[in-house]
Amino acid sequence: MSTTVKITAAEVNKLRQATGAGMMDCKKALVEAEGDFDKAIEVLRKKGQKVAEKRADRESSEGAAIAKINADETEGVAIVLGCETDFVGKNENFVSLANDLAELALNYNTKEEFLAADFGGMTVADKLTEQTGVIGEKLDITSFEKLKAPYVGSYVHINKIAALVGLSSKVNNAETLVKDVAMQVASMGATTLSYKDFDPAFIASETEARIAIIEKDNEELARLGKTLKNVPSYISMAQLTPEVLAKAEETAKAELKAEGKPEQIWDKILPGKMARFISDNTTLDQEKCLLDQTFIKDDKINVAKYVSSYGEVEITGFKRVSVG
């Protein structure tokens, strides 16, 4: 290595701008590369590989969640650029890198395609390795979700949760609708759109588990002399067949008769009783199904009811990513 190569401040700054590495690291890399800019980048990259190897078993449990929508508002992507500490995750340069990566991610349908894509003369995967060396923490794309629809919108909560929602059409005030529903997705963590998406085996196992939990809770409540929780027979609308609903209605009528309520007013009381029965026996749907969840901005209606207020439009799908 030559010891006569003079490294200027401008050259150091150029390398720093290109890689994000510290001034001293950039100067050392340029000296080692004898002033060759491309070789200096390779020096820094190799340093990143060494750091990445040492930190391969670390967890990228912090980071930044970012969502981007294309110009036509028909495609969206949500990613999480993961790192090891919240300190790095909130760093301005780190968040800027996450945004740049998300913009690029819009052009790809899978995480694998995205990691192999060109980012400033290197692959995204190589960029992550390079920045691992620069920052000293393991960097990784821990989540990648793509959504396509006639109209797509998003919501990001303090770079910790990002949600995408697709609509069947761009109706009047679609921007408000899609943001509100995306906020719902981010806040309430639905896992599916409708109870119709559930596998029967999943519903059966969840029913057994939930009833067991309530019965165990009731043992303790009984011991303490407190009011017991209602033990539902069902947890999803998928279980409420016409036969089940008919039987519930007959039971409700028998209760009204036993209470001495005149038959001529039953029609006014029964709808409320049936609504309560359905509510008590669809707890899985209310937790996991977006359309059945109570709307966070109006707890008197569910999400499906809110969406219907915008006319002929449906939620076609949604995606959610989160840090950690």
Domain with CATH 3.30.479.20 in the chain: 62-160
Domain with CATH 1.10.8.10 in the chain: 9-54
Question: What is the structure's pLDDT at 19?
Answer: 72
CA angle 308, 309, 312 (to 5 degrees): 50
DSSP string, 178-205: HHHHHHHHHHH---BS-GGGS-HHHHHH
Give how far the C-alpha of residue 59 lies from the chain's centroid of Cα atoms, to the nearest Å.
19
Helices (H), the chain: 9-19, 23-32, 37-54, 86-89, 92-105, 111-115, 124-135, 174-188, 200-223, 242-258, 266-280, 283-288, 303-308
Q: Averaged in consecutive runs of 10 residues, what is the pLDDT profile of the chain (324 residues)?
A: 68 78 78 84 74 68 95 97 91 93 97 95 89 84 96 96 96 95 95 94 93 91 90 92 94 91 91 92 94 94 95 96 92
Q: What is the pTM of this model?
A: 0.76
The CATH label, of 1.10.8.10, 3.40.47.10, 3.30.70.270, 3.30.870.10, for the domain at 9-54 is 1.10.8.10
CB 153 within 8 A of CB 310: no
CB 320 within 8 A of CB 163: yes
Max intra-chain CA distance, the chain: 105
Question: What is the structure's pLDDT at 48?
Answer: 67
CB 35 within 8 A of CB 11: yes
Question: What is the structure's pLDDT at 161?
Answer: 97
Topology (CATH level 3) of domain 62-160: Tetrahydropterin Synthase; Chain A (3.30.479)
